[in-house]
Amino acid sequence: MHEGQLTFFGGVSKSGGVQVLYGKGKQAILFDFGIEHSSLLFPKQTTLYEPVGATTGREIRQFLLGGMTAPLLELYDPQQIKGIDPAIVSRVWSDREFPQYERISLFIGHMHTDHIGALPYANPDLPVYMNHDSYALYRGIVAGGHYPDTAARIEACEDLSIIDFGEFTIQIVEMDHNATGAAGLIIDSGDYKIAYTGDWRRQGKHPEKIDRFIELCRNKGIDVLITEGTRLPADPAAVPSYQQPEDELLNDFAEWIGAAEGLVYLQMSPRDLERMANMIAIAVEKGRKIVMESSHALIWHAANQEGLRILEGHPALNAEIRVLDATVTDGMTVPYDTVALEEVAEHKDQYLYFFKFPDLAQMIELETLGQLQGCSHFIQSDYSVKVDHKDVAKFLKTFGITGHTLNNGGHAHPEAISDLVERIAPKAVITLHSPHPRSLDTRGVKAFFPEKGQTVSVASIIEAASVAAGQ
Ligand SMILES: [Zn+2]
Ligand SMILES: [Zn+2]
């Protein structure tokens, strides 16, 4: 079959886990390789709470047999799927037939688990393409022990790189999301053009990147647009809450840290290295020293060793970083000098501490030692463990620590998605990464709703797309 077609293995009517295979002729590209958040198992990573995880050493077998990742066995490390009966994997997918390609490559848009969950189990021969800064972040989270490495061959590509697969090309287009380096794709097969946003938002630091993506798409003339729709509500009439732009959020941070008396604990996601850099720079400007929990320090250092494009010339790169000695375990090598917990406790008003949730016990020492008592601050910034988490709340109450929340999320507001669809004006739009894809107001653009496991030609998508009811 020579016609370009798409197969939807994941991300359909679910948040996360996008796995879409585009193939034409002998070549195919799978975009993203994640595991849905709401599947049977939570993807393997160092989590700061305890979700139901896969059994160590059997992860990919359980993901495959749970129908949580594409049933194309050539994608996986043969050692890790040894003895798995392909007939049983096929049965999980109701013995559905899938297209065969001579070569499948992989594109990974960003470093959130719902997009990379299967990467550690990839076949060592699988070519993997990533935007440069995503690759740098991957090196960071592997160094920090937050994620396993992969044997697959990763090629780090600069933003806007075009990769030629013969039958089609892909262009990597950096977007804005709360994972550094997040990128979308434009696939061009000559006859048809497909754009994939990956996860994106307008309220981030770089809305101009979204405008650039829209411009690139408009210039190409996109046939099929695939966007994420994480924040679409169940009821299309409901309006999700406002999320403040990144600059406002950073202003709030600057105000709080400027006024804070005691120690400032900061719990944020070390996948958003640009926010981390901005918060480091603000804290230094406000006269604070930076101390990090060891895995944060390892991520920050290893990612920057790769030369993050987004942080070129950033003042945070010159900041002096210290690692809290209590977070360094035996045999661990850390990239910066350590500072004693007692020293931080003695000079609470001089430090910003990049903290991680499982280390709550340290608060007992940090808050009871030293002169200043009962005036520290705990800032939770887009992290999954919130200030009202029962354990966090207990510690904050016990030590009189003021809790703050600084969130703006990583996903686009429904209005922003509608605006993007309208401006790109594709022949058909597909909304993935959402339990409520039908809630999207496509502003007259025809929509197509794939099913999990469905294979459909690009021509048929355009033909079958229809204007949503009620528009
Ligand atoms: Zn996602
Ligand atoms: Zn994401």
CA of residue 389 to ligand 1 center, whole Å: 23
For residue 169, the CA-to-ligand 1 centroid distance in Å is 24
Who's near 18: CB < 8 A, 6+ residues apart?
10, 11, 31, 32, 34, 109, 114, 115, 198, 228, 432, 433
35 Cα–ligand 2 center, Å: 12
Q: Which two tokens stand for residue 5?
A: 């077609």
Give the rounded percent of residues in the chain with a pLDDT score beyond 70.
Answer: 96
State in Å: Cα 199 to ligand 2 middle.
Answer: 5
**Ligand with the closest atom to the CA of 115:** 1
Compute the distance between CA of residue 308 and CA of residue 285 in angstroms, rounded to an integer: 22
Closest-approaching ligand to the CA atom of 382 = 2
Residue-wise pLDDT tens digits, 221-253: 999 999 999 999 999 889 888 899 999 999 999
Ligand 2 centroid to residue 144 C-alpha, Å: 19
Angle at 298 between CA 264 and CA 335, to 5 degrees: 100
Q: Is the pLDDT of residue 469 over 50?
A: no
Span from the CA of 17 to the centroid of ligand 1 (angstroms): 7
In tens, the pLDDT along 328-377 reads: 999 999 999 999 999 999 999 999 999 998 899 999 999 999 988 889 99
Q: How remote is the CA of residue 168 from the centroid of ligand 1, in Å?
A: 25
- Among all ligands shown, which has an atom nearest to the Cα of 181? 2
For 253, other C-beta atoms within 10 Å of its C-beta total 24
pLDDT at 36: 74
* Run of H or E including 164: strand 162-164
User: Beta-carbon neighbour count of residue 306 at 10 Å?
Assistant: 16
For residue 87, report the distance from its CA to the centre of ligand 1, in Å: 30
Q: What is the DSSP string of 65-84?
A: HTT-S---GGGB-TTTTTT-
Rounded-to-integer distance, Cα 22 and Cα 4, Å: 7
- pLDDT at position 42 is 57
Nearest ligand to residue 35 Cα:
1
The tokens 């496509």 sit on which residue?
A: 442
Task: Give mean pLDDT, residues 315-331.
Answer: 96
**pLDDT at position 205:** 97
Query: 162-164 and 169-174: which strand pairing?
Result: antiparallel
Distance 177 CA to ligand 2 centre (A): 7
pLDDT band of residue 54 (cuts 50, 70, 90) is: confident
| C-alpha 271 – ligand 2 centre gap (Å) | 10
* Region 182-206 average pLDDT: 97
Cα separation, 387 vs 345, whole angstroms: 21
Ligand 1 geometric centre to CA of 61 (Å): 22
Whole-number Å distance, alpha carbon 431 to ligand 2 midpoint, is 15
Say whether pLDDT at 470 is over 50.
no
Distance (Å) from CA 115 to ligand 1 centroid: 6
Task: For each of the domains in the chain, give its residue range(s) and CATH number, in order of start.
Answer: 5-236+411-464 (3.60.15.10), 246-405 (3.40.50.10710)
Instruction: Give ion ligand 2 contacts, CB < 5 A.
Output: 112, 199
Which tens digit of pLDDT belongs to each residue from 102-116?
999 999 999 998 999
